[in-house]
Structure 1
Amino acid sequence: MSSCTSTRRTTICPTTRLTHRRYSSHLQRTTVSTQEQTFYYENIEGGHGGAADNKQRAFMQVCILMEDVVTQSAAGDDTMSRGVPVLSDCEEEDADDLSTRLPSTVHTSTRSIQASLEEGYDMKEVLGEGKFGKVHKVVRKGSKERFAVKVMQRADSLGELKALADLEHPHIVRLHEAREHEGHAYLVMELCKGGTLIEWIGSRFEKHMGKEIYMHPSTKQVGRCLWQVLDAIQYLHSYNIVHRDVKPPNLLLAQGGSNLQLKLADFNLATELQGEVLTARCGTPGFMAPEVVECHYTELCDVWSAGVVFYQVVTGERLWRQADAEAHYEQLLAETPLKLESTAAWSNHAQGALDLCQELLRLESQGRPTASAAMGNPWLQKHANFAEQGCCAIS
């Protein structure tokens, strides 16, 4: 398959992130540390349109800064959901150009961090450590509220970051505070305790007569899950923000247990939709929409990814399992139209569930519903449990 063409120079960067997760494949279901390839194709020269308003610019800066969201698994193990991207194997000499546009963290001693935060927080254990620095758990003095704090190197837009603190959504990981110390920005973020959605899916496999069987979630659970994902997406889209990497490892559980309360995280690939289309191919193979593979897409690519997430929550399986990205792209573009099978997993729910998933996974984006429109689907309206979530049904 030929790569995307552009009149501007294009850098092709497979970025590696460390991920601690439980595989949901039939073959492996133990908690492991693995390197997951996410492909990022970025046009180096210029953007996609004119200047955004101040609130959108502030939101985008936080999206980029919120690369690492620290989670705690239900078992009590502290894990880091995603690592900071590492640029490598880029064509030509554009890696330096791109790296100047991405924030980085710095190795800062525990003593230095504690000194800068001691007025309002007590420093606790290190939750994660990687090539670019450490993420610590902190406790706010007087309230015992727990947060994750990350040290960022680029603090030139701290004022806008502080102004953004009150822009929040119940299904997006929240930035609580941003402060400056000796040229660095300290981001105090929400600490989620329930692990990731991919871990939750993996935990539902049980052995039965020598076979791994997926214990299918209830209709209430799958409806709640999809509603929350779409709710986060439509909120971003209302600010012309496209996430571009919606998938189970990037959906955090606020608490453990069966009562799913999801938070969308990892905004490293998020971008602003200023023109008619986006042309940079980026995301994770298996969750990228076909129009992203073809380098001509809009915010509806996130709706496709939500459909893939929905499929995996219902069935316990990924819709596509190819290890090779190019092989996956070839199969994805050859599926015309994509037809989902009515398997036993779907029979646990009313027919409307499969129909809704099919709508979200329309190959032609023009026929795909927006996130807001999908939230008005009759099946989802019936099974999303609005009262329990504090949500209101869309009329």
Structure 2
Amino acid sequence: MPLFKRRDGGSIRDRFEFRDVLGTGAFSKVFLAECKAEPGHLVAVKCIDKKALKGKEESLENEIKVLRKLRHQNIVQLYDTYDEKGYVYLVMELVTGGELFDRIVAKGSYTEKDASHLIRQVLHAVSFMHDNGVVHRDLKPENLLYFNHEEDSKIMISDFGLSKTEDSGVMATACGTPGYVAPEVLQQKPYGKAVDIWSIGVIAYILLCGYPPFYDENDANLFAQIIKGEYEFDAPYWNEISDSAKDFISHLMCCDPDQRFTCEQALAHPWISGNTAYTKDIHGSVASHLKKSLAKRNWKKAYNAAAAIRQLQLLRISSSRAVTGNSSSNGTPPNRPFPV
């Protein structure tokens, strides 16, 4: 059954003038395109090869289903879909402001208050998703984009390829990105909306120091840290950060998903809703750590948590063993910070 039935039988190229290639992926290309009926109205068109998509049709249909449900100012919009011979096209809102961390590095100044404002926008969008029964399951800095290059540009959540609706059944599949996944995902327990809250906590942590709370080049050690919630607010990097920020993060990166904050509780925390976020410029410290991370992006592993868990199983390391495994007090060698 077609993903989208065109009312008048017109093709996407009847309606849009394709321009530059904005990006390429394993199964797709993203084009800048202009709407012929509305000159000057630019969109991003994701062109997906059906041959490459074979066997993954359900995943794409799920992403489309999710995006059609979500209309929020901080979520990249899906305008239309075209199912044509050889290709499926997704007509998306054009977002031009770049990735979150790149923008912070380029800034002249940056404060806790700025970080609080960013996280508040993410929480509002995720709260809207959760109210609509959608769990993103892969929140990470690369999926947070600025809408445009304006100084006060809003932040946008993108990439719903791993998202799932609660009405589609119990979630227990390991997915996401190592370093940002919640303990219950790694333990292969049934999970829900709380996994997104954990990921937001990890992002907030990085926004305030420039390096991740969990890091180890060995996946078994990394997962052991996450399962036990072994992170610290290391001196000297956290000395100038408010206790309120640390309290906020501690309620998001809480190992027990039942005790973890909801979006509503997080939005009500004084670090988000009040005036407890410091206004001291922390750009120098945060940006220097982020630059090292961005320079070493090739260190990132191009597999998700499911693949990493399979690797752990091959190594005969179960999540229960990881919980009792040996590690240092913060799970990392003393030469922090590390690449994100």
Q: TM-score, normalised by structure 1?
A: 0.58
SS in 1 for 2:80: strand
Of 37, 45, 49, the match for 1:149: 45
Q: Tell me the residue number matched to 2:195.
A: 301
Of 19, 23, 31, the match for 1:136: 31
Q: Tell me the residue number matched to 1:268.
A: 161
RMSD of Structure 2 on Structure 1 (CA): 3.3
Q: Does residue 262 of structure 2 align to residue 370 of structure 1?
A: yes
Instruction: Give the deviation of 1:331 after TM superposition.
Output: 2.1
**Counterparts of 1:315 and 1:237 in 2: how far apart (Å)?**
28
Q: Does residue 207 of structure 2 align to residue 313 of structure 1?
A: yes
Instruction: Label 1:358 to 1:258 Cα distance change in 2 as closer, same or farther (>3 A).
Output: farther
Q: Does residue 17 of structure 2 align to residue 127 of structure 1?
A: no
Instruction: Give the unaligned 5+ runs of structure 2.
Output: 5-9, 278-340
Q: Say if 2:182 and 2:198, in contact at 8 Å, map to a contact too.
A: yes
**Counterparts of 1:187 and 1:137 in 2: how far apart (Å)?**
12
SS in 2 for 1:266: coil
SS in 1 for 2:110: coil
Q: Say if 1:290 and 1:363, in contact at 8 Å, map to a contact too.
A: yes
Instruction: Label 1:317 to 1:226 Cα distance change in 2 as closer, same or farther (>3 A).
Output: same
**Counterparts of 1:293 and 1:166 in 2: how far apart (Å)?**
28
**Counterparts of 2:257 and 2:66 in 1: how far apart (Å)?**
35
Equivalences for residues 1-395 of structure 1 within 5 A: 116-141=11-36, 142-152=38-48, 153=50, 167-182=70-85, 184-203=87-106, 217-256=110-149, 258-274=151-167, 278-296=171-189, 297-335=191-229, 338=230, 340-341=232-233, 343=235, 346=238, 348-382=240-274
**Counterparts of 1:165 and 1:271 in 2: how far apart (Å)?**
13
Larger helix share, 1 or 2: 2
Instruction: Label 1:313 to 1:258 Cα distance change in 2 as closer, same or farther (>3 A).
Output: farther
Instruction: Give the deviation of 1:202 after TM superposition.
Output: 4.3
Q: Say if 2:162 and 2:175, in contact at 8 Å, map to a contact too.
A: yes
**Counterparts of 2:18 and 2:276 in 1: how far apart (Å)?**
39
SS in 2 for 1:314: helix
Q: Which whole-Å deviations, capped at 9, do the CAs of 1:194-218 have from their partners, x for residues lacking one?
A: 11113234446xxxxxxxxxx8722
**Counterparts of 1:324 and 1:262 in 2: how far apart (Å)?**
33
Instruction: Label 1:283 to 1:118 Cα distance change in 2 as closer, same or farther (>3 A).
Output: closer
Q: Which whole-Å deviations, capped at 9, do the CAs of 1:6-45 have from their partners, x for residues lacking one?
A: xxxxxxxxxxxxxxxxxxxxxxxxxxxxxxxxxxxxxxxx
Larger strand share, 1 or 2: 1
SS in 1 for 2:245: helix
Q: Say if 1:251 and 1:264, in contact at 8 Å, map to a contact too.
A: yes
**Counterparts of 1:259 and 1:340 in 2: how far apart (Å)?**
32
Instruction: Give the deviation of 1:324 after TM superposition.
Output: 2.8
Q: TM-score, normalised by structure 2?
A: 0.67
Instruction: Give the deviation of 1:236 after TM superposition.
Output: 1.3
Percent identity over paired residues: 30
Letter matched to residue 146 of structure 2: L
Instruction: Label 1:264 to 1:219 Cα distance change in 2 as closer, same or farther (>3 A).
Output: same
Q: Say if 1:222 and 1:314, in contact at 8 Å, map to a contact too.
A: yes
**Counterparts of 1:174 and 1:127 in 2: how far apart (Å)?**
17
Q: Say if 2:228 and 2:255, in contact at 8 Å, map to a contact too.
A: no
Instruction: Give the deviation of 1:291 after TM superposition.
Output: 1.0
Q: Say if 1:224 and 1:384, in contact at 8 Å, map to a contact too.
A: no
SS in 2 for 1:367: coil
**Counterparts of 1:163 and 1:275 in 2: how far apart (Å)?**
11
Q: Which whole-Å deviations, capped at 9, do the CAs of 1:125-168 have from their partners, x for residues lacking one?
A: 1222344242211012334121111234489999x969975841
